[in-house]
Amino acid sequence: MDKFIIEGEKRLEGEVEIKGAKNSTLPILAATLLTEDEFIIENIPRVKDIFTMKRVLETLGVSISIEDDTAYIDTRGTVGYEAPYELVKQMRASYYVLGPLLSRLGRARVSLPGGCAIGSRPIDLHIKGLKALGADISIVHGYIEAYGKSLDGSNIPLEGQNGPSVGATINTMMASVRANGVTVIEGAAMEPEVVDVANFLKECGANIQGAGSSKIKIRGIGKLSGCKYRVIPDRIESGTFAIAVAITKGDVIIRRAESGHIKTVLDKLKEIGADISLGDDWIGVKMVRDIMPTNIETAPHPGFPTDMQAQFTSLLSLANGVSIVKDKIFEERFMHVPELVRMGADLKREGDYVIIKGVPYLSGAEVMASDLRASAALLIAGLAAEGTTKISRIYHIDRGYEKIEDRLAVLGASIWRLKE
């Protein structure tokens, strides 16, 4: 298993380009199953999760090749209906084939994803959405089995106890674009990735209104066609770089980014003392002051994203005062906390929040990555820490960030990958 070795305390300076959004590429690739045609999907990130989705599609019989940042997909011919445990256990988002397969074949069998490092992660809302369209769903031998020869549009209140679900909104939207009649998803997730998937489906001919609001209206059409589509920039990658710049007191232009997608994160960066400048497709981040403390509570979009909570915790561990970071979306998403403590951070977890007492410096240590965003948090801490940080299990970071070490090195970080 590879490790990252980081010699900290190097200022990040220069320019970096943001890759396409992993979390919209995954459902867009799955959505190509909705019809028999050819697709070209541009600006996809070359990260492990995308290659796992490629394997899922290939297992189903789809022809897909990825050259540079473009995927060429041919979904013509017969496709299978089963996504096996072997692949789903590697990546929960494999469940995105459920809606498209059900729509195309009237049948899907997808392994239940199970829990993960950030909590139990139920999928009841995905099942609720598909059932509301008339699908018959049962859990058999660890698999979700869905049948529904003819799906019918319906009014679906989809919001769960912890708020709207990105995954359930997208799965239900994908299943309904070819259903009979009109579907209205109430309590829909409003994340930019939902909008991106809707825009892709519209490019294929789907009739969708309201994506990006809490009410999405889908008028089913008989057939979709293939298309060429360009994925939006990854907002979480943009935010992760922005925080890395702030913690190293750097000065970087983040290019090919969409600042409107991470407004709350940029506002928080301003609050803690960063200078933020914005252009059409770039974000300038410069930090010359001491880091000021702040409080953060994650919330569904347009609130502060749960996917940025761990990285911001690293930043605030060096703030000039006390901060509180609360995550009610994934209450167990604090695996980075004990690792940051090993680096000298003064953090105390109390249920769904962490009290952060800022310390003057972090010290490099051997730490272990536990999930995608927690590993980004350790990386950020390592960039600022005195001495050497060794991060093991970095396959977690490779799931979502493309060649992060090379791109940080270009900005002046001293980081390299130890192959083991």
Strands 295-297 and 322-326: parallel
Which of 189, 413 has the CB closer to ligand UD1? 189
- Residue 160 binds to ligand UD1 (criterion: CB under 6 A): yes
- Residue 273 binds to ligand UD1 (criterion: CB under 6 A): no
CB 158 → ligand UD1: shortest distance, Å? Answer: 9
**From CA 388, how far away is CA 91, in angstroms rounded?**
31
**From CA 263, how far away is CA 300, in angstroms rounded?**
13
Which of 51, 361 has the CB closer to ligand UD1? 51
**From CA 193, how far away is CA 44, in angstroms rounded?**
13
Is residue 378 within 8 A of residue 389, CB to CB? The reply is yes
- Residue 165 binds to ligand UD1 (criterion: CB under 6 A): yes
Is residue 204 within 8 A of residue 33, CB to CB? The reply is no
The binder of ligand UD1 chosen from 52, 162, 388, 414 (CB under 6 A): 162
Structure tokens at 210: 């309201």
Identity at 121, one-letter amino acid code: R
Task: Classify 140 as helix, strand or coil.
Answer: strand
Q: Of 5, 66, 112, 116, which one is the catalytic site residue?
A: 116
Q: Half-sphere exposure of 247 toward its Cβ, with a 13 Å CA cutoff?
A: 33
CB 122 → ligand UD1: shortest distance, Å? Answer: 4
The binder of ligand UD1 chosen from 79, 105, 125, 283 (CB under 6 A): 125
Which of 238, 306 has the CB closer to ligand UD1? 306
CB 2 → ligand UD1: shortest distance, Å? Answer: 22
Q: Which of residues 279-308 bind ligand UD1 (CB under 6 A)?
A: 306-307
Q: Which of residues 19-78 bind ligand UD1 (CB under 6 A)?
A: 23, 26
- Residue 329 binds to ligand UD1 (criterion: CB under 6 A): yes
The binder of ligand UD1 chosen from 100, 148, 153, 167 (CB under 6 A): 167
Residue least distant from ligand UD1 (Cβ): 167
CB 319 → ligand UD1: shortest distance, Å? Answer: 24
The binder of ligand UD1 chosen from 29, 93, 110, 310 (CB under 6 A): 93
Which of 128, 286 has the CB closer to ligand UD1? 128
CB 309 → ligand UD1: shortest distance, Å? Answer: 9
Q: What does residue 275 show for φ and ψ, rounded to 5 degrees?
A: -95, 125
Q: Half-sphere exposure of 327 toward its Cβ, with a 13 Å CA cutoff?
A: 21
Smallest CA-to-CA distance from 370 within 408, 396, 349 is with 396
- Residue 183 binds to ligand UD1 (criterion: CB under 6 A): no
The label of the residue with tokens 């290939």 reads: 58
**Which residues have a Cβ under 8 Å from the Cβ of 239 and sit 6 or more positions away?**
262, 265, 305, 308, 311
CB 148 → ligand UD1: shortest distance, Å? Answer: 18
- How many residues touch ligand UD1 under the rule CB under 6 A: the total is 22
Q: Half-sphere exposure of 133 toward its Cβ, with a 13 Å CA cutoff?
A: 40
**From CA 135, how far away is CA 125, in angstroms rounded?**
13
**Which residues have a Cβ under 8 Å from the Cβ of 406 and sit 6 or more positions away?**
none
Which of 127, 343 has the CB closer to ligand UD1? 127
Helix 166-176 with 192-203: angle, nearest 10 deg = 10
Which of 122, 302 has the CB closer to ligand UD1? 122
Task: Classify 117 as helix, strand or coil.
Answer: coil
Whether 204 sits among the annotated catalytic residues: the reply is no
CB 179 → ligand UD1: shortest distance, Å? Answer: 20
| Residue ranges that bind ligand UD1, judged by CB under 6 A | 23, 26, 93, 121-126, 160, 162-163, 165-168, 189, 193, 306-307, 329-330
| Residue positions annotated with a catalytic role | 116
